[in-house]
Amino acid sequence: IHNLKYFKRTCGEIFELKAELNSDKKEKKKEAVKKVIASMTVGKDVSALFPDVVNCMQTDNLELKKLVYLYLMNYAKSQPDMAIMAVNTFVKDCEDPNPLIRALAVRTMGCIRVDKITEYLCEPLRKCLKDEDPYVRKTAAVCVAKLHDINAQLVEDQGFLDTLKDLISDSNPMVVANAVAALSEIAESHPNSNLLDLNPQSINKLLTALNECTEWGQIFILDCLANYTPRDDRESQSICERVTPRLSHANSAVVLSAVKVLMKFMEMLPKDLDYYGTLLKKLAPPLVTLLSAEPELQYVALRNINLIVQKRPEILKHEMKVFFVKYNDPIYVKLEKLDIMIRLASQANIAQVLAELKEYATEVDVDFVRKAVRAIGRCAIKVEQSAERCVSTLLDLIQTKVNYVVQEAIVVIKDIFRKYPNKYESVIATLCENLDSLDEPEARAAMIWIVGEYAERIDNADELLESFLEGFHDESTQVQLQLLTAIVKLFLKKPTETQELVQQVLSLATQDSDNPDLRDRGYIYWRLLSTDPVAAKEVVLAEKPLISEETDLIEPTLLEELICHIGTLASVYHKPPSAFVEGSRGVQHKRLPARAGSGESAESPDTVSTGGVSEAPPAVIPSQGDLLGDLLNLDLTPPTTTGPPPPTSSMQMGAMDLLGGGLDSLVGVLSNTMGASFGAPPAVMPGSFNAPVSGGLSDLFDLGGGVGMPMGAYVPPKTVWLPAMKAKGLEISGTFARRSGVVQMEMTLTNKAMSVMGDFAIQFNRNSFGLAPAGPLQVLTPFTPNQSIEVTLPLNTVGPVMKMEPLNNLQVFYFRY
Amino acid sequence: MIGGLFIYNHKGEVLISRVYRDDIGLKLDIQIGGVQSKAPGLRNAVDAFRVNVIHARQQVRSPVTNIARTSFFHVKRSNIWLAAVTKQNVNAAMVFEFLYKMCDVMTAYFGKISEENIKNNFVLIYELLDEILDFGYPQNSETGALKTFITQQGIKGQTKEEQSQITSQVTGQIGWRREGIKYRRNELFLDVLESVNLLMSPQGQVLSAHVSGRVVMKSYLSGMPECKFGMNDKIVIDKQGKGGASDDAGKSGKQSIAIDDCTFHQCVRLSKFDSERSISFIPPDGEYELMRYRTTKDIILPFRVIPLVREVGRTKLEVKVVIKSNFKPSLLAQKIEVRIPTPLNTSGVQVICMKGKAKYKASENAIVWKIKRMAGMKESQISAEIELLPTNDKKKWARPPISMNFEVPFAPSGLKVRYLKVFESKLNYSDHDVIKWVRYIGRSGIYETRC
C-alpha cells in the first residue's frame, strides 16, 4: 500500500473527508480515517471531524478501531461532551471475549483525560485488574497509574492501590513488573505514603520475578529495588548476590540499574568482608563493556562512570586505556572520556595520559582541544611528579601559536602557579610574548593575574599593565577586576614608580564605572591604601591557600544523591532531579544507606532531605488587592547560618548547587553578574563568618578562576515562586537572569483561576542586593483564564540596600580577588 | 517515563507523533506561523526540538537536550531523527535502549528506516507504538512476539486458543518463542563475528587493543528445545582441568581464552551463568544475537601497519606504509583497505604500490589502497608523494591516524566453539539429528595506527 498520498493533502478538504467518513463502504471509511490521522500527525487541526470519526468506532476491524482510538486520545480533551459518545463502546469492548480487545479498550480509556469518561472507567478497570488473561492484567496495572495521574483521589477511594499491591504477587512476571512500575510512579507523588511497603518478603518476590520478566520489566524492578534499604549487611549481601547476574544482560539499561542497586547496597557491607572485594571486581568489566554500545548509550554510561569514579575510584583505576579517545567518537563522547581520564590519572599512568592529551591537543574540534589543554593543566595539579612535564608540554603547545590553544594554556598555567608557587616562573617570559594575541577575557585575566602576582620579577610589569589600561572600559568585568587587583599589587611591591598608575586605575574603577562590583572593590582598595598601607599589604599580598585538584569534584552529598539516581537523567545532567523536574516529583532527595554499625539506623527512609538550605518558598509578586499582599514578602535576606554549610562549587555544577531555594538562585545569578563564579573553597562559606576581617579577606584574594570555572552567564531554570493554590489561581514561576548586561527578572504568570485578572504591579522589599525594578511591570491585560504570559522585568541595583553586619557571606563576594 | 515520541525527517518535518503524557507541552517563546493549533503545548515541544536540535547550526553536542525543563533524547538513522520527550527524571539508558529497539522493530517490519518507508507505514508504526509503549513504559518489544498479532491484516480469524496463546507469549516467561514450531530438518547456524580494534603508536607500540565479538545464531529447531553452548572460556577449562579426569588432560592443553566480560540475549539464564558459568537457553526462532563478549588479552592482530611520513620542505610530503599479515599462511584475508589521510591543501599525489590498487580520493582527503586478497605471513608496501599547496594557515595538519579494513576467516580473540547441544525431550529428535554449522569471521573495527 502506498500511504504517501495521505500526506499530500491541502487544507479545505475537511468537507471531503467528512463525506468519506460517513460512507457505507468499510474500505473507504478506513482510508478516510487514515487520512485524518495523517493530517493530525503533520499538525493540521482535524478536530472538526470528531463526531464523524467517533461514528466509525463500532467496528469489528481491529485496525480501524485502533486508528479511531488514536484520534480519540488526541482530541477527546478538546471535545469532552462528544467524547462521551465513545464511552459505551469502550465499556462494551472491556467485556469482549478477545483479550487483545479488552486490553486495548482499557489502555485507550486511560489515555482519555476527560473527567466524565474517567468515572465510567472505574468499573471496567476493576474487572480488568482481575482478568484471567495476564495481557489484560498487565495493561490494567499501567492504567491505574494513568488514572492516578488524572484523579489521584478517585484511585485511592476506589481501592485500586490495594489491588495494584496484590498484583506484585501475580504469577505472571510481566504483570508484576508493570505493577511495580505503576506503584513506583504513584509513590513518587506521595513521598511519605509508604505505598511500596518494601519488606524482605516482597523483595524476595521481586527478585524472583527479576529472573523471568522482559528486559524492560527487569529495569522497572531494579529501579524499584534501589529504593529499598536493607535491614542489615547480610540482607544487603544476599540481594547483591541475586542482582549481580544482571550485569551480563545485553541491555545496557538493565546493567546500569543493576550497578545502581549494587553501588547503593555496597555502602552497607563492611569493607573487610571478602564479598565486598569480589563485588568491586565484578563491577569493572560490565562498565567497560558499556563503552562498546552505541554512542548515545556510551554517553549515558560515561556520565555515570564519571560519578562512579568519584565515589569509588578503586573500581576502574586500572582501566585507563578504555577511555582513550577514538578519532571517530562523537564529540560528546570525546569530552566525557577526557573528563574521566583526568579523574583516573595517577602517578602510575601519567606518562601514557600525557602522551594522549598531547595528541588530542592537535585535533580539530575547538572545544575538545581546549579541554585537552585544560586537562594537561589539571594533570599537573593532580600528580605533582608530572608537573614539570606538563608545563613543558604546555610550552610546546604555546609555540604552535594556535590562538585558542595559547589562551587555554595560559589559563591553566595560572592554576599551576597557584599550586606550585615560585617554581615555574622561568616560563613567564614566554607567556609575555603572547600578550598581544590574547582576546578572550579569561585568558587576559589570567595573564594579568600572573603579571600582578610576579610583578617584582617582571621588569616591565608596569608597562604591561598600563597597556591594558588604555582600553579599560571596553574590557569585560572579569578583566577589569583582575587589572585593578594586579595594579594594586604592583603598587604595593614597587610603590615608587607606580603611584600614577594606581591612581589612574582607582579613579577608572570608582568614578567612571557603572559596575557596582568594580566600584566597591575600587573603594575598598582606595580606603585600605589611604588609611593603612601596612594593613593593605598584609591583605592584598597575603599568602594564598594552595589550590588542589579537588576543585572539580562533585560535592559529596550531591554525589551520594546522584549515585542513587544512576542510569537516570539526573545522572546524565549531574544535577538533582529537583533542578529539572517540575512539581512534587523531583523534590525528595535520595541518599545512600549508612554502613552497618555506624550508628545511623537503616530505618531512615530514603526520602530524607539533604538540602537543608533554606527551602522557604521565596516570592516576588505583584500586588493585586490585599489578597496577594501577604505573599509579597520577598525576603531576600541571606540564609541563617544554622543550616549545614552550602555545598562547595564544582565544575559540573557551577552555581547549580546553590539553587536549593529561591534566595540561593538569586545569589547564583548575582555571582555570575560579577563576572566570576564560585571558585571559593569552603573556607569562605558561612562556616567562617566570624573569622577576623583580614583573615577572611586574605583567603578571598585571588581565588577567581580556580581550576575549571564554568563560563558564561548561567541562568537557573524557572522555579515556581507562587503556586496557584496560594494565590487564588495566579501561578508565578520565574528566575533571575542577566541579559546583555541588565539584570532581569523573568517570570511566567499563569492564570489558573476562572476569572480574568488585571491591574498588576510589583514592589520589592528591601533586600541586600539593592535590587529594585527599573521599570513598571507590564502585563498584557485582560489576563484570561488558562492563559500564561512571559514577563520580563528589568532590574537595577540602586534600590535601598538592607543594612547588615559588615562582613557576611554575601558581601564577601565583593572582595573576592 | 517517556512523555512522547516523535519521528522527524531531515528537514524537521514531523512524520510520526505519539504523545503518552500531557505534561510535555512546553511554554516557550517560539512563534509558530499564524496557525493556532488545538494543542499548542504539544506543537511547541515538537517545534522546540526542531529549532534547537535539528536546525541548530553547529554539530550536535549531546544526545540529550534540555529545553525549558523538558528533556529530548534523540538518535539518528540515516536522515531520520527519532526523539523521545519527557519531563521526568526517567531512566536515560532505558530510553536510548528503547529507541534502538524501536528502530530494530521497524526494520524488521518494513526494512530500511527512510522517510518514504515511514510515510508508507505510518498506520503500522502507530499501532506498534501503541503496543510497545504504554503510558511511556516499554512493553514487550520482541519482534517475534509482535509479529504474531500486529500484522496489518486484522486478527479476526483467530480462535480463542490462538488468542490466549498470543497473550501468554507476549506476557510470558519465554516471550521470544512461540509454541508449536515445526521443521522437517532441524538445523542451526552459528556465526562467531569479531571486530578487532587497535590503536597503535607510530613506533609500533600497542596503545589499546580489544576484540568485541558476537555470537549470532540462526536456529531452525522444532518445539521448545533446550540448548547449551560451550566455548574455550578459560574459567571453564581451568575448572575442568582441576577435576583431573584423565581424558581432560589433553583438552586442557588446548588454548583457552580469557573473556573480560560478556552479555547475553535475554533468553540465556543469567543466574545459571553466574553460578556455573554455563550458557543454557531456549532459543528464539530464526536469527538473533546470543551473546556479546570482549577480550583484551592475547589478541592475534591480523595486520601490522608501519607508517613513515616525512615532510620535505613546506610543499611536499613523502609517505611510505608497509603492511604485514600475521596469521597462518594457509588462510586468506579479504577486502583489505588501507586509508592514508592527506592534508587539506593537497594538490597532487603520486602513488606506487606493490599489490592491489591505490587511488587518491580528493573528496575524502585520503589515499585509499585496496587489496582483494592476501595470505598470511606476507608483506606489502605503498609509497606516495604528496604535493601541497602553500598556505598561510597557521594551524597544523592534525595528522589523523591511518586506518585499515579487512576480513579474516578466524577469530582474532582465539575463541573456539566447543559444543552446542540441543535437547528436546517432547519431540523425537536428538542432538545428533540437528545439523550444525559454525563459521568464524574476524573484521576490523577501528584499526588505527597513528602516523
For the domain covering B303-407, report its CATH number.
2.60.40.1170
Determine the residue of chain A that is closest to B174 in CA distance: A212
Grid cell digits, residue B40 = 499548542
- Whole-number Å distance between alpha carbons of B150 and B166: 11
Buried b (16+ CB within 10 A) or exposed e, A218-246: bbbbbbbbbbbbbeebebbbbbbbbbbbb
Least confident of A303-317, A419-433, A598-612: A598-612
C-alpha distances (whole Å) from B188 to each of A554, B144, B181, B420, B433 are 52, 18, 14, 10, 11
Which residues on chain B are in Cβ contact (under 8 Å) with A363? Answer: 398
DSSP code of residue A639: P
Structure-model confidence comparison of residues A675 and B333, the more confident one: B333
Residues A482-517 pLDDT 10s: 999 999 999 988 888 888 888 889 988 888 888 888
What pLDDT score does B241 carry? 72
Q: What is the mean pLDDT of chain B?
A: 86
Taking the CA of residue A507 and the nearest CA in chain B, the distance in Å comes to: 41
Max CA separation in chain B (angstroms): 85
Question: pLDDT band at residue A550, thresholds of 50, 70 and 90?
Answer: low
Which residues on chain A are in Cβ contact (under 8 Å) with B19? Answer: 73-74
Which residues on chain B are in Cβ contact (under 8 Å) with A257? Answer: 91, 93-94
For the domain covering B4-27+39-141, report its CATH number.
3.30.450.60
Name the residue with cell 525543563: B69
A705 closest CA partner among A403, A476, A458: A476
B97–A100: do the CB atoms touch at under 8 Å?
no
- Whole-number Å distance between alpha carbons of A513 and A525: 15
Name the residue with cell 533468553: B267
What pLDDT score does A594 carry? 72
What pLDDT score does B208 carry? 85
- For residue A104, give the 3-state DSSP assignment: helix
Grid cell digits, residue A121 = 472507567
A residues 113-132 closer than 8 Å to B (CB): 113
Which of A399-408, A507-516, B309-318, B321-330 has maximum average pLDDT? B321-330
Grid cell digits, residue A117 = 469518561
Residues B157-205 pLDDT 10s: 567 777 777 887 788 777 788 778 889 999 999 999 999 999 898 888 8
What pLDDT score does A754 carry? 64
Residues B225-256 pLDDT 10s: 999 999 998 888 888 776 554 444 444 445 88
A438's CB contacts (< 8 A; 6+ apart) are A406, A407, A410, A444, A447
- Whole-number Å distance between alpha carbons of B124 and A27: 17
Which of B43, B62, B97 has the CB atom closest to A251's CB atom?
Answer: B97
Structure-model confidence comparison of residues A699 and B176, the more confident one: B176
Residue B35 amino acid letter? V
- Whole-number Å distance between alpha carbons of A147 and A414: 59
3-state secondary structure A354-418: HHHHHHHCCCCCHHHHHHHHHHHHHHHHHCHHHHHHHHHHHHHHHHCCCHHHHHHHHHHHHHHHH
The domain locations on chain A are 440-533, 719-796
pLDDT of A102 > 50? The answer is: yes
Question: pLDDT band at residue A715, thresholds of 50, 70 and 90?
Answer: low
> By CB neighbour count within 10 A (0-12 exposed, 13-18 middle, 19+ buried), where does B72 fall?
buried
Structure-model confidence comparison of residues B18 and A814, the more confident one: B18
A182 closest CA partner among A132, A217, A131: A217
Residues B440-451 pLDDT 10s: 999 999 899 988
B270–A211: do the CB atoms touch at under 8 Å?
yes
pLDDT of B217 > 50? The answer is: yes
Residues B261-296 pLDDT 10s: 899 998 899 988 988 889 999 998 888 999 999 999
* Whole-number percent of chain B with pLDDT over 90: 53
- The torsion angles phi and psi of A542, rounded to 5 degrees, stand at -60, 155
B88–A253: do the CB atoms touch at under 8 Å?
no
Taking the CA of residue B351 and the nearest CA in chain A, the distance in Å comes to: 25
- Whole-number Å distance between alpha carbons of A119 and A79: 17
A223 with B283: CB under 8 angstroms? Answer: no
Q: What is the mean pLDDT of residues B348-354?
A: 91
Grid cell digits, residue A537 = 599589604
Taking the CA of residue A10 and the nearest CA in chain B, the distance in Å comes to: 14
A216–B134: do the CB atoms touch at under 8 Å?
no
- Whole-number Å distance between alpha carbons of A163 and A159: 7
B96–A4: do the CB atoms touch at under 8 Å?
no
pLDDT of A392 > 60? The answer is: yes
Residues B116-172 pLDDT 10s: 999 989 889 999 999 999 999 999 888 888 888 887 765 555 677 777 778 877 887
Cα angle A145, B38, A147; round to 5: 10
Residues B372-405 pLDDT 10s: 999 999 999 999 999 988 876 655 677 888 999 9
- For residue A281, give the 3-state DSSP assignment: helix
What pLDDT score does B275 carry? 87
Q: What is the mean pLDDT of chain A?
A: 77
A749 with A729: CB under 8 angstroms? Answer: no
B215 closest CA partner among B174, B262, B260: B262
According to DSSP, the residues that pair with A732 across neighbouring strands are: A722, A749
Least confident of A748-757, B22-31, B413-422: B22-31
CATH 3.30.450.60 segments of chain B: 4-27+39-141
Which of A249, A294, A581 has the CB atom closest to B264's CB atom?
Answer: A249
- Whole-number Å distance between alpha carbons of A156 and A153: 5
Tell me how far apart the terminal alpha carbons of chain A are, to the nearest angstrom: 71
Residues A118-162 pLDDT 10s: 888 899 999 999 999 999 999 999 999 999 988 888 888 899 999
Taking the CA of residue A701 and the nearest CA in chain B, the distance in Å comes to: 36
pLDDT of A782 > 80? The answer is: no
What pLDDT score does A812 carry? 32
Grid cell digits, residue B42 = 504539544
Least confident of A379-388, A422-431, A477-486, A597-606: A597-606
What pLDDT score does A434 carry? 85
Residue B101 amino acid letter? K
List, as residue ranges, the binding site of B.
357, 359, 361, 370, 372
What pLDDT score does A5 carry? 58
Chains A, B: CB contacts within 8 A come to 301
Which of A4, A181, A256 has the CB atom closest to B119's CB atom?
Answer: A4
What pLDDT score does A609 carry? 38
B270–A245: do the CB atoms touch at under 8 Å?
yes
Least confident of A60-69, A170-179, A516-525: A60-69
pLDDT of B41 > 50? The answer is: yes
B147 closest CA partner among B161, B131, B135: B131
Q: In what order do the strands lie in the sheet with A742-751?
A: A719-722, A730-739, A742-751, A788-796, A772-773
A114 with A77: CB under 8 angstroms? Answer: yes
Give residue B432's Cα distance to chain centre.
33
Question: pLDDT band at residue A807, thresholds of 50, 70 and 90?
Answer: very low
Taking the CA of residue B402 and the nearest CA in chain A, the distance in Å comes to: 11
3-state secondary structure chain B: CCCEEEEECCCCCEEEEEECCHHHCCCCCCCCCCCCCCCHHHHHHHHHHHHHHHCCCCCCCCCEEEECCEEEEEEEECCEEEEEEECCCCEHHHHHHHHHHHHHHHHHHHCCCCHHHHHHCHHHHHHHHHHHEECCEECCCCHHHHHHHCCCCCCCCCCHHHHHHHHHHHHCCCCCCCCCCCCCCCEEEEEEEEEEEEEECCCCCEEEEEEEEEEEEEEECCCCCEEEEEECEHHHHHHHHHHCCCCHHHHHHCCCECCCEEEECCCECHHHHHHHCCEEECCCCEEEEEEEEEECCCCCCCEEEEEEEEEECCCEEEEEEEEEECCCCCCEEEEEEEEEECCCCEEEEEEEECCCEEEEEHHHCEEEEEEEEEECCCEEEEEEEEEECCCCCCCCCCCCCEEEEEEECCCCCCCCEEEEEEECCCCCCCHHHCEEEEEEEEEEEEEEECC
- One of 2.60.40.3880, 1.10.287.130, 2.60.40.1170, 2.40.160.40 is the CATH number of B187-240+254-299+411-449, namely 2.60.40.1170
B27–A255: do the CB atoms touch at under 8 Å?
no
- Whole-number Å distance between alpha carbons of A45 and A90: 25
Least confident of A76-90, A324-338, A551-565: A76-90
Q: How many CB atoms lie within 10 A of CB A100?
A: 22
- The torsion angles phi and psi of B426, rounded to 5 degrees, stand at -80, -30
Interface predicted TM-score of the whole assembly (ipTM), two decimals? 0.82
The CATH class given to the A719-796 domain equals mainly beta
Tally the C-alpha atoms within 13 A of residue B186's C-alpha that lie toward its C-beta. Answer: 19
Determine the residue of chain B that is closest to A31 in CA distance: B123
CATH 2.60.40.1170 segments of chain B: 187-240+254-299+411-449, 303-407
